[in-house]
Amino acid sequence: MKFASYLAVLSPLVAASTMKITNSNAPRDAKVNYDGYHVYRVSAANAPSDLQSRLVSFPSIDLKKFIEVAVPPNDIGGFEALGLESQLLSNDLGNQIRKESRVINATPLTKRGGLPSLSWFDSYHSYDDHVQYWKDLHAAFPNNSQWLDIGSSYEGRNIFGLKLWGGKPAENKPIVLWHGTVHAREWITTMASSVSNEMTSSSKGIGRGTRMLQHSSTHTTSTSCPSTIQTARIPCPTCAPQCTNFHQGFVYTQTTDRLWRKNRQPRSNITCIGTDGNRNWDFQWNYPLEDGSVSSDPCSQTFRGLSPGDTTENVVLSALSRKLAATPGGIRLFIDWHSYSQLILLPWGFSCAPDVLPKNLQAQRDVGGGYAAAINATSGEEYQVGPSCEILYYSTGSARDFHHGALNATYSWSVELRPKTNGAGGFVLPPELIRPTVKEHWAGIKYVLGVVG
């Protein structure tokens, strides 16, 4: 999900560009200050003709939908004078960020080596605490987990994974693989991917859910599957696949710019920093799109890289995924956690042509619909299900499309978590909504694992 950078479109009409302030160039030392920024939801369809003509040059903007923009304090008057059909979603983005960040590290971990408690889901956490979380989880289940050292990120942080299983590990079981925090500012995905805590606790009879892990084995991301499955989980903050940008961008969002999206990898002779890890996978990377959310411009939030799979993290993650896909059971389920919009996105992103869509699309719709129904029964929240090209936007080089198209993962999804709109927090989801979000997706995961296993 993208947000707030489209003021670049309005800059001829309003005197500033949020994209230039927050998303493009050179490293900065000072923390980006969003105090007083207003966030608006603007109707693209009803925009005046001069603005629509500029919007057309931004292929990731659907003129039939809304766009959400963050306006700096000095430009609020000019923006409102444009008379656009808009809704004010936040009158102080900086205050939202402070409320969210105030609780980082507020919840202490359990004793080292002990099972992390559910209080973990009451606040957001630092990178170091995320690392310790996964180490504690591994230490709590020494006979049912394996620590995987996979490689290093561009900034030299260790990329690792945690394999979990119940009973005896079975290498021929199908694999469930989860990724998270590929986009650095999507903090809620670090917490949703921690749902393996729930699964492992359940399997040990602690009573926080169904006894699921005893029937599954995990490989790299996070774990939770019925008896016919092994689960691979790569926690965003600490593991490899799910944390492509977690290692680089996530820390940057906590120290410098809360709304940073990409990784932090520079390019030779290019001023702008970072690549969108979810446009860099080696599947239909160069598919020609008339419109869509992908760019060859290094300063764009959706910069796809200079060649497929050329980010340091994707080299490591794709190698791991290929290794897992080559096992006897293959990859049964792949989920790439994102935020926000409350969507369950199926393949493909690159095309909705009937003769191109996945052969098992109806099966994916059915299982995805069951996932959404389980969420709704738990919290009342509604999640829309369908191919990304159908219900969100066109895109190329996504992890979802790669794992289904290149690696034959049976079910391969991008799940956009809460909230539905920026009016409920957007990327800056209030801490009090962490636990409800995790709880509803735990219900969805239990349903899916019962079906795909």
Report the alpha-carbon distance of residue 124 to residue 370 in Å, rounded: 29
Give the CATH number for residue 228. 3.40.630.10
Residue 292's nearest CA partner among 371, 175, 397 is: 397
Separation of alpha carbons 148 and 334, rounded Å: 18
Is 85 catalytic? The answer is no
Contact (CB, 8 A) for 160 and 147:
yes
Q: Are residues 349 and 213 in the same domain?
A: yes
| 129-180 pLDDT, tens digit each | 888 888 888 888 888 788 888 888 888 888 877 777 766 665 677 888 888 8
Does 95 lie in the same domain as 134?
A: no
Q: Are 51 and 10 in contact (CB under 8 A)?
A: yes
User: Looking at the structure, do residues 319 and 210 belong to the same domain, yes or no?
Assistant: yes
pLDDT for 350-361, tens place per residue?
A: 999 999 999 999
Q: What is the DSSP letter of 211?
A: S
Q: Is the residue at 263 inside a domain?
A: no
Q: What is the pLDDT of residues 96-141, one digit of tens each?
A: 998 887 656 545 555 555 666 778 888 999 888 888 888 888 888 8
Question: What pLDDT is recorded for position 219?
Answer: 42
List the single range of 60-64, 225-229, 289-293, 392-396 with lowest mean pLDDT.
Answer: 225-229
Please, which pLDDT band fits residue 64 given cuts at 50, 70 and 90? low
pLDDT at 113: 56
Describe the crossing of helices 434-452 and 361-379 by its angle, rounded to 10 degrees. Answer: 140
**Mean pLDDT, residues 423-429:** 80
What average pLDDT does range 244-261 have in this prediction?
79
Of the residues 68, 313, 416, 440, which is catalytic? 416
pTM (two decimals): 0.85
Element (H, E) at 268: none
DSSP state letters, 320-359: HHHHHHTSTT-EEEEEEEEESS-EEEES-SS---TTTS-T
- pLDDT at residue 238, rounded to an integer: 28
Say if CB 285 and CB 394 are below 8 A apart: no
pLDDT beyond 60 at 401: yes
Domain that holds residue 431: 118-247+310-452
Decide which of 428 and 195 is more confident: 428
pLDDT for the residue 108:
54
Cα–Cα distance between 379 and 420 in angstroms, integer? 14
Residue 28 has pLDDT above 70, yes or no: no
Mean pLDDT of the chain: 79
- Residue 282 inside a domain? The answer is no
Q: Judge whether 303 lies within some domain.
A: no
What pLDDT, on a 0 to 100 scale, did the predictor assign at position 206?
35
Instruction: Please say whether the beta carbons of 241 and 331 come within 8 A.
Output: no
335 and 234 co-located in one domain: yes
413 or 191, greater pLDDT: 413
- Same domain for 318 and 199? yes
Q: What share of the chain is helix, strand, coil (3-state, %, to 5)?
A: 35, 15, 50
Q: What is the pLDDT of residue 235?
A: 45
Domain CATH number, residue 76: 3.30.70.340
Domain count, the chain: 2
Q: Within this chain, do residues 90 and 186 fall inside the same structural domain, yes or no?
A: no
d(CA 420, CA 424): 7
Task: Tell which of 101, 129, 145 closes a domain.
Answer: 101
Q: Are residues 134 and 217 in the same domain?
A: yes
**Measured between alpha carbons, how far is 255 from 249 in angstroms, rounded to an integer?**
10
What is the pLDDT confidence band of residue 200, given thresholds at 50, 70 and 90? low
Beta strands 384-387; 343-346: pairing state = parallel
Residue whose C-alpha is closest to residue 71's, from 139, 9, 145, 29: 9
Cα separation of 125 and 120, whole Å? Answer: 8
